[in-house]
Amino acid sequence: LQRFNSPRVTQPAIFVTELALGYTLLDLGLAPAAMAGHSIGEFAAATLAGVFDETDALELIATRAKLSAEAPEGKMLAVNADEAKAQAAADAEKGKVWMAVRNAAGRQVIAGEVAAVDRAATALAAAGVKCRPLPVNRAYHTPLMAEAEAALAIKLQSMTLQPPSVPLCCNGSGGWMDDATATDPIYWAAHVASCVRWSENMAALASKAPATVVEVGSGSSLAP
């Protein structure tokens, strides 16, 4: 189990599971009106939408996983509070803790240096806010992943990126991904160190109503 929790294993496993399930739905004739992916899932969605060549995507995720394993140790904390409270907790440890994921109303993730996140957790608990550490030992989607970002930027320079074939949500902006962003290596490199604006992605998908939202992955943690 400890070996499976290594980024070298979990990130490729998440990616190939989501990609395989996505291909299965396409083969069954389910045509998506739009797609969104949460963190690593954005790479799977982008591959299904034709942004990445499949071989390039697999190589990129393997590289991202290796670089993640080499990144400084960190911690991620799920916070059951609104964005303002979670942001305030991060700001109290400025330069050591950051907002990492805006999941939904009342569900945020902050991340950063281990001791600083622990102090933030203590302060939140004292204020009556429920929080729990995530089962990772890296501070994904924070500046602590800067070295991985720089190396990924170099890796991406050799890859050809295409505009998405269907509307694709953007974790970075929270809105729809334009062609310039989809084909920008800098965006995809920075993804590992940037906040995931998932709540805004869900709002964008909701604008496609009455379409049905289908979660494609190894669980159902993002489903309402």
Catalytic residues: 39, 141
Distance CA 65, CA 69 (A): 6
Cis peptide before 164 (omega within 30 of 0): no
- Does residue 1 sit in helix, strand or coil? coil
User: Helix, strand, coil proportions of the chain in percent (round to 5)?
Assistant: 45, 10, 40
Distance CA 92, CA 84 (A): 12
Which tokens in the block code for residue 138? 């890296």
Cβ(57)–Cβ(20) below 8 Å: no
Cβ(204)–Cβ(171) below 8 Å: no
| Pick from 119, 128, 129, 123: nearest CA to 83 | 129
Give the chain's largest Cα–Cα span.
Answer: 51
